[in-house]
Amino acid sequence: MRRPSLPGFIALILLGLLLTTAGCISGSPKAPAPYSADPAAVSLQETLVVGIDSDYPPFSYLNSSGSPTGFDVDSMQWIAQKKGLKVKFQPTAWDSIIISLLTGKIDLVYSGMSITPERAGMINFSTPYWEVNQDVVARNDSALTLKDVTSGTAIIGTQSGSTAAVWVDTNLVSTGRMSPDRLVLYNNTPLALDDLAAGRVDAVMYDDYILKTMIGEKPLKTLGTIGTKEGYGIAVRKSDPELLATLNDGLTQLKADPYWQELIIRYKMKQNSP
């Protein structure tokens, strides 16, 4: 079992308190402080536990039988086969997925995680494999516009720990354009969309392609897109450079293989990789 050092354990407690605060249903998200623990490197001979968000179609989700599937899941299985790795997938709450990685509950995150400076202060990322922006949706009968949302006049719902939550906090709440109570955070995006349809929030912001998939036949419409140009990467601990190098090489091989295009077609994704 990989245990953090004593100074790292103290930092872990502080980080846990910060992440617990960020996981509340309402209020502004705050980026956690850099994490200083240095667990022992994982052996590539072990079964690697891959943390995923199980409500993130088409990248990672549970199928009708409850098994993990999706673009990222299939990609990881392909890389594992090519690299001789053993993997299992662990659905993990998104607002605590980084702390789960840092404490050794999971060994990597392969589930549409945007590469940000705040996250890169705590963990390492692979080369980017996909790019997303932020979509904003509202009810079909809403007169709301994208300008209303970006000016801070709407009640906005989004997933706790997401880059959409960080964008709203950084650009609207922290600048005084929107009061903190108008940002409502949820454990997952389907809950936010349910509240939007019920009229409890005015709009929902989230990663563009995923949000388009989630709204489906719901009585919701897309107001527009905020061009954040976020690159997705596989996340590992800073103490696992061998694992990172293996995943980077696997990604390079995957994107050069016809199977990459097969996955894009299988999950009905537009070509949007960097």
pLDDT at 10: 38
pLDDT at 41: 86
Q: Does domain 6-20+42-131+231-266 have CATH number 1.25.40.10?
A: no
Domains 6-20+42-131+231-266 and 133-229 share a fold: yes
3-state secondary structure 65-133: CCCEECHHHHHHHHHHHHHCCEEEEEECCHHHHHHHHHCCCCCEEEEEEECCHHHHCCCEECCCCEEEE
> Residue 70: phi, psi to the nearest 5?
125, 175
What superfamily would CATH give domain 133-229? Periplasmic binding protein-like II (3.40.190.10)
pLDDT at 202: 98
pLDDT at 175: 97
Tell me how far apart the alpha carbons of residues 202 and 192 are, in angstroms, rounded to a whole number. 10
Q: Please write the tens of the pLDDT for every residue from 154-202.
A: 999 999 999 999 999 999 999 999 999 999 999 999 999 999 999 999 9
Does residue 251 contact residue 79 with C-beta atoms inside 8 Å?
Answer: yes
Does residue 33 contact residue 98 with C-beta atoms inside 8 Å?
Answer: no
Per DSSP, the three-state class of 234 is strand
pLDDT at 274: 56
pLDDT at 271: 56
Domain boundaries, the chain: 6-20+42-131+231-266, 133-229
Taking 50 as the pLDDT cut, the residues of the chain under it are: 1-36
Does residue 133 contact residue 230 with C-beta atoms inside 8 Å?
Answer: yes
pLDDT at 18: 40
pLDDT at 38: 59
Q: Please write the tens of the pLDDT for every residue from 7-34.
A: 343 344 444 434 433 333 344 444 444 4
